[in-house]
Amino acid sequence: MEILLSAGEIQKRVAEIAGDIRRDVPGRVHLVAVLKGAFVFLADLIRQMPGEVTVDFIALSSYGSRMTGSGDVRMLKDLDMPLRGRDVVVVEDVIDSGTTLAALLEALRGRDPRTLRTVCLLNKPARRRIAVPIEYVGFTIGDRFVVGYGLDCAERYRHLPYLAALETGDCRV
């Protein structure tokens, strides 16, 4: 395993992103975190964000990774709260092919939020198959499979405080 980003580097960047979001959404911000991968990022992000913040969770399962543009994304757990009139920021761990985020944004737009933005911890533009808007990016990385800080390989490594690249492609769907 190769450490890509240390806990300290991640914390510094998360604080900057929290500030960026706050500048754009000075009032109440409603964060929609995508389970499970985004839970550590969300936990750090909200603690760097002053003012009024609400949080909700959605769980998705993507079968689309191999099928280009299939957009086959299943909802495992829906949000608890309506989005109507809210300034919503989707909190994602990694944007890879873009399939998951594209399907999610389409579904959420239909719920009438006042504004809808996306923040992701990691962006992998080289792997993109569907263009998706991302307003805030933690780190842009190459075509690597990354674990730690919430990200898993077959449910392992989520607890690591840093981000590491796995050499094996075993976890790639």
Given the rule CB under 6 A, which residues bind ligand IMP?
A: 37, 62, 65, 92-101, 145-147, 151
Residues ≥6 apart with Cβ < 8 Å to 26: 51
User: If we measure between CA atoms, which residue out of 122, 150, 115, 133 comes closest to residue 30?
Assistant: 115
Find the shortest distance in angstroms from Cβ 85 to Mg ion: 26
User: If we measure between CA atoms, which residue out of 113, 118, 119 comes closest to residue 13?
Assistant: 119
Find the shortest distance in angstroms from Cβ 43 to ligand IMP: 16
Q: Considering only residues 5, 25, 37, 136, which one is a binding residue for Mg ion as defined by CB under 5 A?
A: 37
120 binds, among Mg ion, ligand IMP, none (CB under 5 to 8 A by kind): none
Find the shortest distance in angstroms from Cβ 94 to Mg ion: 6
Known catalytic membership, residue 143 = no
Report residue 161 as tokens.
């405080």
Q: Using the minimum distance from each CB to Mg ion, give the nearer residue, 88 or 94.
A: 94
With b for 16 or more beta-carbon neighbours within 10 A and e for fewer, the 96-112 pattern comes to bbbbbbbbbbeebeeee
Chain residues that interact with Mg ion, rule: CB under 5 A = 34, 37, 93
